[in-house]
Chain A
Amino acid sequence: MLQFWATWAKDLLVLRRDRAGLLILFLMPAVLVLVISLVQNNVLERSGGSDLRVLFVDADGSPFSRQLGERLGAVEALRLITREDGAVLTPERVRTLVAAGDYPCGVIIPPGAGAALAERVRALAAQIGGVPGPPAVGGSEVVLCFDPTVQGIFRTALKSALGQVLLGLEVEAKARELSRSLGGGFAGGALGGGDQALRMLAGERLLTLQVESTAPGQKPTVPNAVQQNVPAWALFGMFFIVVPLSGALMRERHEGTLLRLRTLPVSYGVILLGKIAAFVCVCLVQFSGMLLVGRYLLPRFGTPALELQGHLGAAFGLAFCAALAATGYGLLVGSAARSYEQGAMFGAISVVVAAAVGGIMVPVYAMPAAMQTLSVVSPLGWGLRGFLEIFVRGGDFAAVAGPAAALLAFFAGSLLLAWLFLARAGSRGR
């Protein structure tokens, strides 16, 4: 243990002396989260949209609901999904998939929605025409449920598209009723002329939209740019540990220190573990710092404060797994690269690419379909998914078990490869 702690303390001391490296590690993610949060808070929520995968359940099966599905499916930039793994979707399944973040949103047409609309149209026509008719019935609302991480532009785009389709269907239903009461004509009659027809068409909305943001039983959240950006950029900053860590390993290899370490009566595995522990500690300090930035600094610039509404223990547990993944990757880059410059360049660029693919910069649901598929291979994407479970959906340990396991597997794989590279270099006396 003496050797483990000696290496842990030495690596922390070396890092502390590297002021430029520390600035990159701590200041860069803080500046990024500040800038990106401000930009997204002010601009992104009001700007355009993108392709959305929309789960669609027709539990009604009426001509009305079929038309709604057809017209919604014809809307550009929406992709309607009615089956999942070969099975027809149910309202419960849609809510579960959306709440889990597997899909950004879903539309549910409840049973009886078409019949209720027809009844309400007839009741309205009777009421306006002063003719005794059926009593007004309560219409079933079309349900639109969102993953809480889906932000303003996409919500607005979908709500607008669905609202237009519903309005069109409602107006058509009213016009049909109008036509029927006029006996096939459209210029006066039972409804008593143009004014009443206008009241019928432009009056009370019979079809309404119910918007859900969370699944039943889940803690209500207020998603905003800060809730997403703080954990996202904290992850990015943690993975940037790859640059100083791979650099430290490269320097040990090139400056002869590694040779000296390998002639000591201590396993090199113990020395590597001490190094990993030191860099994991730095990552956790980084993560804590970023939470404090989100909680106390960002509100000073006009953004909402970070709400630590999820399970904080789970957040730090996941941060620990992400820190291990980042240090494992740093060791892999440091052991595989042939020069300091190569390691630093490859390490930095690969982290930026993994961040972009993993949804750190642009939410995964806003990416083209091919990129969404690619996003599943990014460790930063796994980490982000876990953090969003906690910070946006109020998840606990169980909710982040999948991403945590993936990060640990990545760590183990990276460490194994790094060990093989080091053993290979060792067999050549390097």
Chain B
Amino acid sequence: MEPATTSEPSPLPLVRAERLSFRYPGAARAAVSELSLSIAAGELFGLLGPNGAGKTTTISILATLLRPTTGTVAIAGHDVVRQGRLVRRDIGLVPQEIALYPSLTARENLAYFGRLHGLTGGGLRDRIAECLAFVGLEEHADRRISEYSGGMKRRANLAAGILHRPRLLFLDEPTVGIDAQSRHTILAHLQALAGEGMTMVYTTHYMEEAEQLCSRVAIIDDGRILAEGAPAALVDGAVGCSNLEELFLGLTGKQLRD
């Protein structure tokens, strides 16, 4: 199946990655190879790929966690390597793990991360209340994270990521391991954030989720982009595919990945 590109990004992208490559120390091959991306402000961009395809590595580079071996990335015009501090003001991260302190309550966790973002006093209190209400946890704000269900933890994780109103939010499989109800709620929250104009880069293994949510997706494997565009346009342009999952399997193969 041929790689496809079906829609042009905005002329003023919020994220611009040029020929990005990254090889982990000691690794035989590159985790990301010559990858170029352009994501416009307000887009909900999906990064799809099998295990080990390079999704998390790509997000880690964009979020200033890894320095690219070669290539450049600019976020809101700032270089992620040379202007990391400026980039970090504009981004939020919702990692795969529940990146919160289990022995602290949701409110205490958000207060800590809020202070690290420079929020204080009444402004911080109001913003915490707003975020907790947004993810439906206001009634459980003073319970410890360790007492939360899996879905509640995922929602609290999302609240911590949006606390400082980032322009760009990275979500690395935010719905993994939770029930359908919690997944539905989180997707609704993400759609609401997209409606407010927040730009999001989103990785998932659930194709129907990406089809429903993302304005544009990139299917990657072996660190390279195989196809990029709006989900419906990608499916329409692929011969013999009726949905994104068929296209995905057609591009990445059906063999098991370790």
Contacts and interface: CB of A to CB of B under 8 A. Distances in A.
A326 B93 CA distance: 33
B120 A2 contact: yes
Contacts of B104: 10, 13-14, 17
Contacts of A262: 64-65
Contact of B101 (A3, A6, A10, A427): A10
Nearest to A262: B65
Nearest to B112: A10
Interface string A360-396: 0000000000000000000000000000000000000
Contacts of B88: 263-265
Which of B65, B97, B116, B161: most chain A CB closer than 10 A? B116
B134 interface: no
Contact of B25 (A254, A257, A428): A428
B24 A428 contact: yes
A71 to B, nearest CB: 67
A264 B96 contact: no
Contacts of A261: 116
A394 to B, nearest CB: 44
A17 B103 contact: yes
Nearest to A254: B97
Contacts of B160: 260
A185 interface: no
A255 B24 contact: no
Interface string B188-218: 0000000000000000000000000000000
B96 A256 contact: yes
28 contacts: A2-B118, A2-B120, A6-B116, A7-B112, A7-B116, A9-B112, A10-B112, A18-B103, A254-B97, A255-B100, A256-B96, A256-B98, A256-B99, A257-B100, A259-B93, A259-B95, A259-B99, A260-B113, A263-B64, A264-B113, A264-B117, A265-B88, A265-B89, A271-B116, A429-B24, A429-B56, A429-B60, A429-B65
Q: 6 smallest A-B Cβ distances: which pairs?
A: A256-B97, A256-B99, A6-B115, A17-B103, A260-B99, A265-B88
Given A259-B93, A265-B118, 6 more contacts: A10-B112, A14-B103, A427-B25, A427-B67, A429-B24, A429-B57
